[in-house]
Amino acid sequence: METRALGKSGLEVSALGLGCMGLSFGYGPATDKASAIDLIRSAVEQGVTFFDTAEAYGPYANEELLGEALSPLRNEVVIATKFGFREGKAALGLDSRPSTIRAVAEASLKRLRTDVIDLFYQHRVDPNVPIDEVAGTVQQLISEGKVRHFGMSEAGADSIRRAHAVQPVAALQSEYSLWWREPEQTVLPTLEELGIGFVPFSPLGRGFLTGKIDENTTFDQADFRNVVPRFSAENRKANSSLVDLLSRMAHERNATPAQIALAWLLAQKPWVVPIPGTTKLSRLEENVGAAAIALGADDLATINEALSAVDVQGDRYPQQMQTMVNR
């Protein structure tokens, strides 16, 4: 797989990464550990070098899983993890105090079985802690050799600028896909100006853009999508026209809707690195295959024209979580 540079940071990763959250958290029961380790190592064999986790995914279980899976391959991969929730639990609220950032870094290093975190994201901007204190704390961790690069997640343009002025931000991780294009308004131009890479999570719309989910799909009772407005049965039915569009384009190119959705993201900017997640080897292979699909200017124009007629229904987060994004 080709590699990409995340902005001007000097951090180079595979064009597609692997979002590992779903192996432990968020979409129902955790994947059997042996199967999860097999999938992660298979990703490395297929050219994936960029792996995303967080203390909050479990909490802690996902970092432990990656530590075990990747410790024999540590020199071949880039590992990103995150701080920013109290006790690693989103339900307890935000906590980016310097003492917490340091404690999370030390604990994450142990769980990941490594001596350095390649990319350390602030999971969400904490309005109770000045962003310059957050960036300054990560800067100290970088000077101590415990962290290599600083990242932010779901941050707004102003917060990105303020943080970047203290410690260069290597990458922003936020949701971005064919059915959530809000970052194009102010965030992407800011990243381009400052030389910051962009790591879209949920690049397949939490599975919806694969074409395998419709209004009749039922989710496990522990699946986060049960409380996401965009995944109500009514909204899934209303949003099916977007999947129909992808399916038509995929058929013309002997590809899958998921591959077209990922190829579209890769075509946006050379410093965009999507991190699709999966628990299945077949889906991993399908996603990796998207890196070989090149969409030209005419393809992108066709997609954009068709998208202009699609009015995506439903918020991407429950109301109580909306206040944590784009700060």
Q: What is the pLDDT of residue 176?
A: 98
258 part of a folded domain = yes
Contacts with 12 (C-beta within 8 Å, 6 or more apart), sequence order: 3, 4, 5, 6
Q: What is the pLDDT of residue 171?
A: 98
End-to-end CA distance of the chain: 34
Catalytic residues: 57
192 part of a folded domain = yes
Q: Burial of 300 by CB count in 10 Å (0-12 exposed, 13-18 middle, 19+ buried)?
A: middle
Query: Do 170 and 197 touch, CB atoms closer than 8 A?
Result: yes
249 part of a folded domain = yes
Q: What is the pLDDT of residue 218?
A: 96
285 part of a folded domain = yes
327 part of a folded domain = no
193 part of a folded domain = yes
What CATH number corresponds to the domain at position 241? Answer: 3.20.20.100
d(CA 54, CA 119): 11
302 part of a folded domain = yes
Domain that holds residue 179: 3-322
Q: What is the pLDDT of residue 320?
A: 74
Number of domains in the chain: 1
pLDDT in tens, the chain (327 residues): 999 999 999 999 999 999 999 999 999 999 999 999 999 999 999 999 999 999 999 999 999 999 999 999 999 999 999 999 999 999 999 999 999 999 999 999 999 999 999 999 999 999 999 999 999 999 999 999 999 999 999 999 999 999 999 999 999 999 999 999 999 999 999 999 999 999 999 999 999 999 999 999 999 999 999 999 999 999 999 999 999 989 999 999 999 999 999 999 999 999 999 999 999 999 999 999 999 999 999 999 989 998 888 899 999 988 778 888 888
Which pair of structure tokens corresponds to residue 307? 């998208």
Task: Locate all alpha helices (DSSP H) within 195-318, ordered by sequence.
Answer: 233-238, 240-252, 257-266, 281-289, 297-307
0.75 surpassed by pTM:
yes
Q: What is the pLDDT of residue 214?
A: 95
